[in-house]
Amino acid sequence: MLTTDKGKGDGYYKGGDGLHTVHYSVTDFSGEVKMQGSLATTPTASDWVDISGTTYTTSPDTDTDFVANFTGNFVWLRAIATYTNGRINSIKVNY
């Protein structure tokens, strides 16, 4: 399992509409990638929740992209990946 470092979400700035967009780019990937969010300013392991609609599950593909929108005033965001082979080229989040 791979867990990214936390990144600032829309709620970090205490204002905004909570709209986020995530883009996963993978190559020959077999597994699952999803976003997690936290409302805590200093999150512990139990403060993270899976964000609905951001899970991408696939068998081996070539140069696949997945884009999802989600709403929530998350202070912090991170990605979690469980996979057996392939490469994650990038995970980009916009808000």
Q: Which residue has the tokens 């990937």?
A: 29
Q: Residue 14: is it exposed, middle or buried by C-beta count within 10 angstroms (0-12/13-18/19+)?
A: exposed
User: What are the tens digits of pLDDT across the range 40-91?
Assistant: 999 999 999 999 999 999 888 777 899 999 999 999 999 999 999 999 999 9
Pick from 45, 46, 49: nearest CA to 9: 49
Global pTM?
0.92
Q: Which residue has the tokens 């057996």?
A: 84
Backbone angles phi, psi at 78, to 5 degrees: -155, 165
